[in-house]
Structure 1
Amino acid sequence: MPHDVELIILLAVGFGLALLFGYIAARLRLPPLIGYLVAGILISPNTPGVVGDIHLANQLAELGVMFLMFGVGMHFSLNDLMQVKRIALPGAILQITVATLLGIGVSMMWGWSFGSALVFGLSLSCASTVVLLKALGDRGLLDSVNGKIAVGWLLVEDLVMVLVLVLLPATAVLLGGQALAGSAADENIWLTLGITLLKVTGFIAFMLIIGKRLVPWIMQVVARLGSRELFTLTVVAAAVSIAFGAYKVFGVSMALGAFFAGMVVKESDFSHRAEEETLPLREIFSILFFVSVGMLFDPRILLEEPLHVLAVVGIIMIGKTIAAMALVLFFRYPINTALTVGASLAQIGEFSFILATLGVSLQLLSLEGQNLILAGALISITLNTFLFSAIEPVQRWIRERSHLARLLERSGDPLAMLPDEVSQDYLRDQVVIIGHGEVGRRITKNLMAENIKVVIAEENREIVENLREKGIAAVSGVATEPGVLIQAHIQHARLLVISPMDIIDIHKIVDIATTLNPQIQVLICAESKEEAEVIRRDNIGEVYFAKEEMAKNMSNHILNQIEIAHHQPPSH
């Protein structure tokens, strides 16, 4: 019988319990990571029963952090962020500031030092990417304007947290903590900070100049061999070796290294394949990370400091939510957007755990602080599902009280009305296009090339602003609201084009449009074959389905080529 079986025990018991409690969480319509955290709590030294090796768990957690950050890097999309930058960038920074200040204020009232309070506040300010993407995906909101704003907001939060992870070790001594083992704690804090920033800049420059070309080239060379396992190994080796190299050569955190490894892999032509084939491995290490985080949690904090736990949950679920909603409404987005973004950010997750663990290792954060953060995460993630479920009822309640709706949605929004320079002559026989996504953009471009008048109704205010800068008539708002179609002068339009969207919303838009203009022709882009068939049965307009149209075009092209070949004289 082998004697060194601690790792096998940890993996066997950890995965077994993670599976059991992950399944229970999923059946209760909760994120499975709640189950993984509970599994970790059950095998931690703080609870009776089987005890896993905490030192081994910490090493596995490091690997988990690397693969989590690698995944964040692979999902990081500058294009997604640029689409919503005017709200996501200031919104996320202001919300992080508000949540951090609330955390600092409350913890300093408890008698904590400023350094501890800062790490604590920052840990409460960042939402979980895993929880957010799952919540939006389950509700089909990922590709909606509200979903894109929430994801863009979170991308900014992630970038800020990556910067915090880089700067915190360099400023630990100044904040009253200790430098990490093996790092030089320079007497001059500004010199240490300067050197750290120089190393980070050097690493980023290396990755953007050399890594961006080298990693995709290696992936291409390996892909030509046709070996699936070698390709997967290449991607994993890139993630781990870049993370370790960043730490060893440039002295920056392995988390930052893994994040940039994910970003350069995303630049490759094989990024989708890399993401698909490494997903099981990344998920396995993510599960280990959450199990190891659970092993650090001491449940006694819930009994010993219930008021402190309530304060933490209040900051996460009330303070952050109100701050986010207020900022979204300030930028003149509708109530639905404010509620969706507020619910999306009313939880904390993986970055909070990473930051708390780093804070403890730098002796900036006490174990009590770490336990409060973990308790806040467990409770907020569990309750987050119910917050999302409350969006529709709360929105209906606000809409029924028109004075409250008017107060929250500021009137006189210039983007909700067509500009004065759009003449009345232009607003006759125009084509009204709902949505300016990929389909809407192509239709608009083709129509304008033929000098056909168009008016676009779009939820995303930044897109409307960009369209107006190009001299294109556009209004901001949700087209299921009659006022938006009235502003687009639907009553004088000859044609209504609806981009792919929820079938219930399509019915609402068509009902409003045909009430205002019974003669209008309606063209609808369907997202799936099933949806196209439902719309055809309902007989509310002409339906186009992308794959169907592609098959028709390709068939016509093939028939034309055959026809041409038949009429050509035979070659000798």
Structure 2
Amino acid sequence: MDTLPTVVMLLGASVVSVIVFRSVNLPPVLGYLLVGAVIGPHALNLVGGFAGAQHLAEFGVVFLMFSIGLEFSLPKLYAMKRIVFGLGLLQVLLTLAAVTGLVTALGLSWQEGVALGGALAMSSTAVLTKLLTERLELDKAHGREVMGVLLFQDIAVVPLLILIPAFSETPERMATMMGLAMLKAVVVLSVVLFFGQRLMSRWFFIVARGKSAELFMLNVLLITLGLAYLTELAGLSLALGAFVAGILISETQYRHHVEEDIKPFRDVLMGLFFVTIGMMLDVPLVAASAPLVLGVLAALLALKFALVLGLSRLFGSTFGGALRTGLWLCAGGEFGFVLLAEMRRLELLPSPVLQAVLAALVLSMLLAPLIVQYSNQIVLRFAASEWLMRSMQMTQLAAKAMNTEKHVVICGYGRTGQYLARFMEQEDVTYLALDLDPERIREATAAGENVIYGDAARHETLVAAGVARASVAIISFADARASERVLEHIRQIKPDLPVVVRTLDEKDLEALLRAGAAEIVPETLETSMVLASHALRHLGVPHAQVLEHFRQTRIDHYRALRGFFHGDSDLEQDTLDVEEARLHSVLLVDGAKAIGRTLGQLVLNELGVEVTAVRRRNIRALEPSAETRFSAGDVVVLLGTQSALTAAEERLLQG
């Protein structure tokens, strides 16, 4: 079968699977794996060109390693060195040792044990980082431990990709091959990093001076694939060269630009890679050896959980914190599949063992979000100290809030929260701030500021902070989903408490209003209004008139300012916010079905679209009435989501 039909088949199946898995809030990587298993040679066998697809998917690993290199930051490593090179290093080494010992006891070689140990030691950076961000736990103690261990695991993949090929050689040649591979790696890394650091910034400056997005993209691809090719010529892996390319670019000022440009290539090719991993899964063989698969899965979860729990305790965590870190890191990860694919290529493992481990990794990644979801309940069930610590926190918080009444509760003490607190102090208004960053709290309390450790998204924290006695609450962080959770708890405690909420733009206004916010401050709209006030003052418009205009705009919940016309520069954002309201202009050409009909007759509001203006012969009428009758040449300005706008335009033009 030709490569093109194969790739078309893979892409089509992948699109469907990602839609389904995103709809149920599961990682897309699991959808890719499932697609591969279903259409692969061991199941429906819909794709015959497995080798061609696998060759293309190798570039997915290249771009994944390039992205890891981009994230490689020496200052970041130094700041987290105790967790990364302490907890992370020991977790990988002890997992390698434990798996090697277990495998050799079962009759396999130590080489196979080390290779398997490397694959099983990995946890999912993509899944866990997303979950930490969504649950607002990046700054918590277990969040920092999880991120530090994940960072070391990402780094550990590089030497493992160098060592594993040597394991396929005879014992006599293996030591020589390993030594030679490591020597080559050191020489290549030293030369490239020493000379590359000096050349890369200058070269990117020359390329960026051309002010061509096409040229910049071509240059990124050239450096990534060029260095990958050089390391392959040196007898090393493509992935190592891509990792080095990422490191070089991470030290330049163009890092974030490169990261955005490379993301579409990386995600698409990584998707193809995971589909080919799923195609490796022999479903009948896995079903026949289900007890073995479940045994490997149970051993994987238990071993990594026990190791991380013990190591986290060794590094000073409480039992509850260590328990939580162990639960987060016990499942497998995507780099385990990368290493398994390398083992399969080298025929390093017997097929039944490879299939059992592959199936166990897939199942563990399916279980990971579920384990995380119930981690708090598990910790509170088994860690008495966690109850005590939480009780102490609530007691401290309640003691601090005990004598306060008619105060302001500030949820979040970042930059915005601190500015708010200073305004309150200047007006002699009592406030109590809640935050989850221990270092920030330590610094602020030392300076005498009224902030305490507490998660505002928890009901008991808000009760202890005296929300029932407060005059107003302010949510100062711009995470709409977290704000909705806080609003829900506040409604339960004190339904009539006015809550002022910060958000980035207008797309979350309706949801936050429904959740119970009294006032919402969208940063982009307020910034525009402040800019307008300064400009109008210089134009001589009376200040009182400007203030009245802005007051009415806020009363109407920014109705006149909502939506904006999207252009090519908004394309990247559009892919993320497909349901964000936007403005769209429709010209009523001769023959359009809306001509001669009134706005009320078209009932566009039933499609979820609002007509904000009608332009006729260069005269623009804002908020037209239902009796407005359309004529040929009118331009109708619509506000709605992309799908709703498409339906409304069709109704205006075609009926």
Number of the residue aligned with 1:220: 208
Aligned to 2:189: 200
- Contact kept? 2:61, 2:239, Cα under 8 Å: yes
Q: How many residues align?
A: 536
Among residues 455, 459, 464, which one is paired with 2:441 in the alignment?
Answer: 464
Amino acid at match of 2:436: E
CA RMSD, Structure 1 to Structure 2 (Å): 5.1
Larger Rg belongs to = 2
- CA deviation map 1:521-570 (0-9, x unaligned): 9654345546556666887666433223212321222123324999xxxx
Which residues in structure 2 correspond to 1:369-408 (within 5 Å)?
A: 369-387=353-371, 390-391=373-374, 395=376, 406-408=384-386
User: Of the candidates 286, 289, 310, which is equivalent to residue 302 of structure 1?
Assistant: 286
CA distance in 1, matches of 2:504, 2:537: 28
Looking at structure 1, the residues matched to 411 and 268 of structure 2 have their Cα atoms a distance apart, in angstroms, of: 42
Name the residue aligned to 1:569: none
- Corresponding residue for 1:506? 486
Q: Which structure 2 segments of 5+ residues have no match?
A: 544-655
Note the 1:84-483 alignment, pairs <5 A.
92-93=88-89, 95-96=91-92, 99-132=95-128, 140-141=134-135, 144-145=137-138, 150=143, 153-154=146-147, 156-166=149-159, 169-170=162-163, 177-178=168-169, 187=176, 193=182, 196-197=185-186, 199-211=188-200, 213-214=201-202, 216-222=204-210, 224-225=211-212, 228-248=213-233, 253-262=237-246, 264-265=248-249, 274-321=258-305, 331-332=317-318, 345-360=329-344, 365-387=349-371, 390-391=373-374, 395=376, 406-409=384-387, 411=389, 433-443=410-420, 456-465=433-442, 467=444, 474-480=451-457
The equivalent residue for 1:570 is none
> 1:380 corresponds to which letter in structure 2?
S
TM-aligned CA deviation for residue 65 of structure 1: 0.7
Query: Does structure 1 residue 8 correspond to structure 2 residue 42?
Result: no
Matching residue's letter, 1:375: A
Preserved contact between residue 498 and residue 517 of structure 2 (Cα < 8 Å): no
Amino acid at match of 1:163: A
Match of 2:632 in 1: none
**1:333·1:409 contact (CA, 8 Å) conserved in 2?**
no
Taking the aligned partners of 1:229 and 1:155, their CA distance within structure 2 comes to 36
Partner letter of residue 70 of structure 1? F
Question: What is the distance in 2 between the residues matched to 1:127 and 1:146?
Answer: 19
Tell me whether 346-355 or 85-94 shows the greater mean CA deviation: 85-94
Distance 1:495 1:21 in 2: 45
Q: Residue type matched to 1:232 in 2?
A: M
Q: Which digits, 9 at most, give the CA deviation of each residue in 1:27-78, with x for residues without a partner?
A: 6654443343344345655457456345434422321210222334456678
Structure 1 unaligned spans of 5+: 567-572
Match of 2:536 in 1: 559
Quote the Cα distance in structure 2 between the aligned partners of 1:313 and 1:442: 50
Q: How far does residue 310 in structure 1 lie from its aligned partner after superposition? A: 1.1
1:357-413 per-position Cα deviation (integer Å, ceiling 9, x unaligned): 33455665444443233212222233445445x53xx756876x7xx5644445399
Secondary structure of the residue aligned to 2:158 is helix
Shift of 1:210: 3.4
Compute the displacement of 1:491 (Å): 9.9
2:209 aligned partner, one-letter code? V
For the structure 1 residues 314 and 435, does the alpha-carbon distance in structure 2 shift closer, same or farther, using more than 3 Å as the test?
same
> How far off its partner does 1:116 sit?
1.4
8 Å Cα contact 1:136-1:147 kept in structure 2: no
Letter in 2 for 1:507: L
> For residues 56-95 of structure 1, what are the structure 2 equivalents within 5 Å?
56-74=52-70, 92-93=88-89, 95=91
How big is the shift at 1:506? 2.8
Matched residue SS, 1:370: helix
Compared with structure 1, are the counterparts of its residues 177 and 446 closer, same or farther at alpha carbon in structure 2 (3 Å cutoff)?
A: farther
Give the superposition deviation at 1:220. 1.3
- Structure 1 residues 328 and 18 mapped into 2: Cα distance closer, same or farther (>3 Å)? same
CA shift for structure 1 position 414: 8.6
The residue type paired with residue 237 of structure 1 is: L
The 3-state SS of whatever aligns with 2:107 is: coil
The residue type paired with residue 240 of structure 1 is L
Question: Could you say which residue in structure 2 is the equivalent of 1:547?
Answer: 524
In 2, the alpha carbon distance for the partners of 1:441 and 1:334 equals 30
**Contact 1:37–1:290, Cα closer than 8 Å, also in 2:** yes
| Residues 131 and 428 (structure 1), Cα distance of their counterparts in 2 relative to 1, 3 Å cut | closer
Seen in structure 2, the aligned counterparts of structure 1 residues 525 and 86 have a Cα distance that, compared at 3 Å, is farther
What amino acid sits opposite 1:288 in the alignment? Answer: L
Matched residue SS, 2:539: helix
User: What SS is found at the alignment partner of 1:436?
Assistant: coil
Measure, in 2, the Cα distance between the counterparts of 1:470 and 1:245.
55
Question: Which residue identity does 1:559 align to in structure 2?
Answer: L
**CA distance 1:291–1:196, shift in 2 (3 Å):** same
Label 1:99 to 1:429 Cα distance change in 2 as closer, same or farther (>3 A): farther
Indicate the percent of aligned positions where both proteins have the same amino acid.
23
* Contact 2:379/2:386 (<8 A) preserved: no
Partner secondary structure for residue 33 of structure 1: helix
Query: 2:162 corresponds to which letter in structure 1?
Result: P
Indicate conservation of the 8 Å contact 1:25/1:31, yes or no.
yes
CA-to-partner distance for each residue in 1:292-328, whole Å, 9 max, x for gaps?
2233333344145333311221244454456657877
Q: Indicate how the Cα distance of structure 1 residues 439 and 178 shifts in structure 2: closer, same or farther if over 3 A, else same.
A: farther
Q: Distance in 2 between matches of 1:149 and 1:418?
A: 22
Contact 1:332 1:409 in 2 (8 A): no
Contact 1:36–1:294 (8 Å) recurs in 2 = yes
Q: Deviations over 1:474-523 (max 9, x none)?
A: 432323557756887889999854322523443367569979xx9x9965
Q: Say if 2:29 is the partner of 1:33.
A: yes
- The one-letter amino acid paired with 1:310 is L
Q: Are 1:479 and 1:509, in contact at CA under 8 Å, matched by a contact in 2? A: no
Deviates more, 1:147-156 or 1:299-308: 147-156
Q: Secondary structure at the match of 1:348?
A: coil
Asked if structure 1 preserves the Cα contact closer than 8 Å seen for 2:484 and 2:515, the reply is: no
TM-score normalised by length of structure 2: 0.64
